[in-house]
Structure 1
Amino acid sequence: MAGVRGQGRKFDLENSLEKAMFAFWRHGYDGTSVATLTREMGINAPSLYAAFGSKEGLFLAAVEYYNNGRGSFMQRAFDEEDSAPALIRRLLYEAAETYTHTDGPGGCLVIGSASRVSEAGQQVADRLRDIRNANIDRLESHIRADIDAGALPPTTGPRAVAEFVGVIVQGMSHRARDGATTEALRRVAATAWDSVRVLLGET
């Protein structure tokens, strides 16, 4: 990717975003200072502000970079699965795999990087909350569509199922960050999937 000009220093945008992503992922939004970011990215503060406007702007760019790369499994699942049961099963098992990759801090950047923030970071926390809630809403819509099409029984509670899956996936992220293994989270996914099948009226 082409470099970005910033206060007399040219740097590679993709490489810089990856380094910023890992810094925020490891330390959280509040725990990552501008000094840490410039050191990790190998640039100076004027270059950072010229390219991204602010620490918040850099963080949101890093989140987008994450969602288009390491965190893209969720978007791909939503795009590629036609039925709600297949979508849910894929989300559960791919979360177990993705969140336990050993080449990163573990867990999910969107779930873990701004769970507790100062007042200055509240806007960032709200933005991530909206992303997480949008995923729950989207899953609910998929389940509701299957009910309307007759693929799932009308007694299915689409919001309850979507919330249950969201709680499990977010919990898996936290457990991965605490060191849970892929195999451990696969077992969680299997147990959760058995429960979801009951909730969906599957045998």
Structure 2
Amino acid sequence: MPDKGRPRSFDRADALMRAMQVFWEKGFEGASLTALTAAMGINAPSLYAAFGCKEALYLEAMELYAQTVGTEIWQPMETAPTAREAFSRFLVATAKAYSQPDTPHGCLIALGGLHQSAIPKAVCDALSRHRTENVDKLRQRLEAAIAEGDLPDSLDPEAVATFYATVQHGMSILARDGGSYQALKNVADGAMAAWGMLTREDSVRRP
């Protein structure tokens, strides 16, 4: 804990944002203490006093990513009139978020801990939880569409949600490998071209 009688000489929120950028670019295992403190503009004792340890810093950075970049990706789904439009908006927003010129490409959560043996269990568990929650959000949107009569009762929402979450994961890897927005958008368009086959949307009897 920092000394209560000595105010911090840095902006904690700004330092966390800078740490998030390092973790986003390098992953947990690739982000050295030297790289983190240099980006945050603080020394190691200040980092430990403010955040506890590298693991705790990563967990905070991951939550910040979910609240900022994650919101940019998921929010467009909320006002979509149909499930098809919701998923299309989700993938297009993903393409945009993963290819911004001023941030690391790809997804911090998808790419943050590919080598799980090299990272703490708490970090692995948090990454896994976020990925599971993403599938759950997609599944819940599909279940709502079934209840509304937008999609047929025969649809397997878990399978379709997992498919589109996997597409998003692949877009993250493509972006990290240098894929442009247009390349990511092409993947999104291809995935949406499979929508009718995956959902049997045309079998719904509409008034």
TM-score by length of 1: 0.89
The offset of 1:88, in angstroms, is 0.8
The offset of 1:6, in angstroms, is 9.9
Identity of aligned residues (%): 38
2:113–2:119 Cα contact (<8 Å) kept: no
Distance 1:67 1:94 in 2: 14
2:77–2:89 Cα contact (<8 Å) kept: no
* Residue pairs, 1:28-47, within 5 angstroms: 28-47=27-46
The offset of 1:119, in angstroms, is 5.0
The offset of 1:8, in angstroms, is 6.4
1:29–1:117 Cα contact (<8 Å) kept: no
Matched residue SS, 1:70: helix
Aligned to 1:62: 61
Q: Mean Cα displacement is larger for which, 174-183 or 140-149?
A: 140-149
Matched residue SS, 1:199: helix
- The one-character-per-residue Cα deviations of 1:17-72 (angstroms, maximum 9, x if unpaired) are 12101111121101112232112211112211111111111111111222222332
Are residues 1:143 and 2:129 paired? no
Matched residue SS, 1:154: coil
Aligned partner letter, 1:102: P
Aligned to 2:205: none
The offset of 1:196, in angstroms, is 1.7
Are residues 1:131 and 2:130 paired? yes
2:83–2:150 Cα contact (<8 Å) kept: no
TM-score by length of 2: 0.87
In structure 2, list runs of 5 or more residues that go unmatched. 203-207
How has the CA–CA distance of structure 1 residues 141 and 12 changed in structure 2, closer, same or farther, with 3 Å as cutoff?
same
List structure 1 runs of 4+ shifted beyond 3 angstroms: 4-9, 77-83, 117-120
Aligned to 2:194: 195
Measured on the aligned residues, the alpha-carbon RMSD in Å equals 2.1
The offset of 1:136, in angstroms, is 0.3
Distance 2:148 2:131 in 1: 26
Aligned to 2:99: 100
Q: Mean Cα displacement is larger for which, 33-42 or 73-82?
A: 73-82
How has the CA–CA distance of structure 1 residues 107 and 6 changed in structure 2, closer, same or farther, with 3 Å as cutoff?
farther
Distance 1:193 1:159 in 2: 17
Distance 2:169 2:130 in 1: 13
Distance 1:141 1:24 in 2: 30
Distance 1:70 1:24 in 2: 14
Distance 2:77 2:52 in 1: 32
In structure 1, list runs of 5 or more residues that go unmatched. none
Distance 1:149 1:163 in 2: 21
Aligned to 2:154: 155
Distance 1:6 1:115 in 2: 41
Distance 2:79 2:62 in 1: 22
The offset of 1:105, in angstroms, is 1.7
Distance 1:73 1:198 in 2: 28
2:74–2:90 Cα contact (<8 Å) kept: no
